[in-house]
A and B are shown apart, each in its own frame.
Chain A
């Protein structure tokens, strides 16, 4: 099934939960209301004519523009894709790329969530592959996946402060320096 047809099918069932379909000509990506992510995922997984049994990738992203680079943007004529429906206020987001082995078709959707207190329902129960991917997005973006069985950092140390892939992340000057000083003060 064609990705646009799948997007229409999801829209028929969930109505207003599908906010838009981005770049329909290049690679369609449906934009979903964050609160409905788990229901939409379950629908895509369990409807027999869709049967998306394989989560190819789950990626966090940040829509805040990178600061220094922006005078170098393309002119609008050069852009081939449709105008992006990226939310105006910078937000965090999660993109899901799915594939079905029984029908050999793929589909992508994404959801945006505010930078302050970002929450998205977990899909780890629907696709076990999402377990580590969601931990990674939590680790590097600070997105909280509600209902995840074991949401803790995966790549960075447990006591790391901040979420480095956020565009406004300020690198730490030192790591555990406070501990080391305290230890020196105690005479090791």
Chain B
């Protein structure tokens, strides 16, 4: 007698550990196979863009913390760079160096969070604990500099909220030394682990053309073989004067744009960020980081679109100024929003467990998807 089968509708989330926040996936399954997976977003929508229209430019900065709450420094950075471009402000070298140090440390912390939660999704608990041990050290540095552990509100239009505290350079150096050794251990445990490779190789492949067409950015795009990084190719701040490599999926890092390539690209970016922090620390000129900071700024009438490189990809700010102290429109092009839009396209006819691996490799933060 033939066995009668029918498709089952499975709800993953909005409250589920593997969805990394309040994301709901409407999954149709045929046994162990996923036939379609449709994401539903918006559970964390809090109308940031509407609210920004009622605030002055400096007042918006703490709200940008809450977009991608795992890389608040980078969000601050993108927003102040956009307003500074609109106004034509130049910031002193000292402030720019400290900005890059904090942004790159935050990139490391964010990628550590990715490795931790990604390995957790795959069923490995140890890397999660190891990554959080190192992330904690970065949070301590941020706490000392900005006063907060997660939402820093540290950048200002024209400079920074506060200068470095005395002796913080030594603390950053000693963290970096210890951290590099820890990363080598992590490579032994996870990066070159045969089980991990077997689990991730060839899963969730995104070809180069698809990656570009869906507007992917950051590690997602580079894993698919597109050699592009805003910091190098459309440089802002002082990135043009720093030396670093852009890891791209290809010969060395898993050729396919699969989950493993996305992991490797992020892992390699951590090393580059360490090098960037060292370069900036080596030579911080004296200066007043608050020199240019004004409480109220009033950009001229106009509009700009500025993109900067966040850990998750390009964060873009489309600002329209009507000449008053408050913006007429702030649109955030959130990297996770675009990266997530490809998800239902690549989650067809795959195993349920692989769907979780793919979702983990996209590395979403719902705070910026829903805004």
Interchain CB contact (< 8 A) of A57 among B41, B42, B305, B325: B305
User: Which B residues are in CB contact (< 8 Å) with A157?
Assistant: 42
Nearest CB in chain A to that of B369: its residue: A155
8 Å CB interface, A58-100 against B: 59-62, 65-66, 69-70, 72-74, 78-81, 84, 95, 97
- B34-63 interface with A by 8 A CB criterion: 41-42, 45, 47, 49-50, 53
Q: Would B50 and A164 count as touching, CB distance under 8 A?
A: yes
- Chain B, range 318-358, C-beta contacts under 8 Å to A: 318, 320, 322-326, 328-329, 331, 333, 337-338, 341, 345
A181 close to B (CB within 8 Å)? no
Q: Is A128 an interface residue (CB 8 A)?
A: yes
Q: Verify A73–B333 contact, CB threshold 8 A.
A: no
A164: B residues at CB distance < 8 A? 47, 50
Q: Interface readout for B264-300 with A: 1 if CB under 8 Å, 0 if not? A: 0000000000000000000000000000000000101
Q: Total A-B pairs in contact (CB under 8 Å)?
A: 116
Interface assignment of B129: CB less than 8 Å from any CB of chain A? no
Q: How far does the Cβ of A172 sit from chain B's closest Cβ, in whole Å?
A: 12
In the docked arrangement, what's the CA distance between A81 and B213, Å?
Answer: 33
B300 with A61: CB separation less than 8 A: no
Nearest chain A CB to B305 CB, angstrom units: 5
Contact of B338 (CB < 8 Å), options: A53, A97, A132: A132
CB under 8 Å from chain A, chain B span 43-102: 45, 47, 49-50, 53, 88
Q: A20 to chain B: which residues have CB within 8 Å?
A: none
Dominant secondary structure of chain B at its interface with chain A:
mixed
Q: Is the CB–CB distance between A132 and B337 below 8 Å?
A: yes
Does A95 contact B318, Cβ atoms closer than 8 Å?
A: yes
* Contact yes or no, B298 A72, CB < 8 A: yes
Number of residues of chain B lying within 8 A (CB) of chain A = 42
B228 at the interface (CB under 8 A from A): yes
Contacts of B233 in A (CB 8 A): 104
Q: Do B305 and A108 have beta carbons less than 8 Å apart?
A: yes
Specify which chain A residues have a CB less than 8 angstroms from the CB of B53 in the assembled complex: 66
Question: Is A26's CB within 8 Å of the partner chain B?
Answer: yes
Q: How far is the CA of A78 from the CA of B325 in the complex (A)?
A: 13
Task: Give 1 or 0 for each of B235-254: 1 = CB within 8 Å of chain A CB.
Answer: 00000000000000000000
- With both chains docked as a complex, state the minimum distance between the C-beta of A166 and any C-beta of chain B, in angstroms: 10
Highest count of chain A CB atoms <10 Å: which of B41, B301, B328, B345: B301
Q: Are B329 and A62 in contact (CB-based, < 8 A)?
A: yes
Question: Contact: A69 with B45, CB < 8 Å?
Answer: no
A155 CB contact (under 8 Å) in B41, B302, B303: B41
- Among residues of B, the one whose C-beta sits closest to the C-beta of A53 is B212
Bound complex: CA of A57 vs CA of B335, how far in Å? 10
Which residues in A have their C-beta under 8 angstroms from that of B337?
A: 132
A62 to B345, CA, bound (A): 32
* Residue of A59, A73, A153, A157 ringed by the most chain B CB atoms within 10 A: A59
A11 CB → nearest B CB, Å: 20
Interface of A: prevailing SS? loop
| Pairwise interchain contact A128-B41, C-beta atoms closer than 8 A | no
Interface: A18 (CB within 8 A): no
Is A56 a contact of B333 with CB atoms below 8 Å? yes
Interface residues in B200-216 by Cβ distance below 8 A to A read 212-215
B64 CB to nearest A CB, Å? 16
**B226 near A: Cβ within 8 Å?**
yes
Interface residues of A in 12-44 (CB under 8 A from B): 22-23, 26-27, 29
Q: Min CB distance, A140 to chain B, in Å?
A: 7
Complex CA distance for A66 and B329, rounded to whole angstroms? 10
| B363 at interface, CB cutoff 8 A | no
Subset of 21 A-B contacts with CB under 8 Å: A26-B304, A56-B314, A57-B316, A61-B320, A61-B331, A66-B326, A66-B328, A73-B322, A73-B323, A74-B324, A81-B300, A101-B226, A127-B215, A128-B345, A129-B213, A131-B341, A132-B338, A153-B42, A155-B371, A164-B47, A164-B50
- Residues in chain B within 8 A of chain A (CB atoms): 41-42, 45, 47, 49-50, 53, 88, 212-215, 226, 228, 233, 298, 300-305, 307, 314, 316, 318, 320, 322-326, 328-329, 331, 333, 337-338, 341, 345, 370-371
Chain A positions within 8 Å of B, measured between CB atoms, are: 22-23, 26-27, 29, 53-57, 59-62, 65-66, 69-70, 72-74, 78-81, 84, 95, 97, 101, 104, 108, 127-129, 131-132, 140, 153-157, 164-165
Add 14 more A-B contacts to A27-B304, A73-B323, A81-B301 (CB < 8 A).
A27-B305, A54-B215, A66-B326, A74-B300, A74-B301, A74-B323, A79-B302, A97-B316, A129-B213, A129-B215, A131-B341, A155-B42, A155-B45, A156-B42
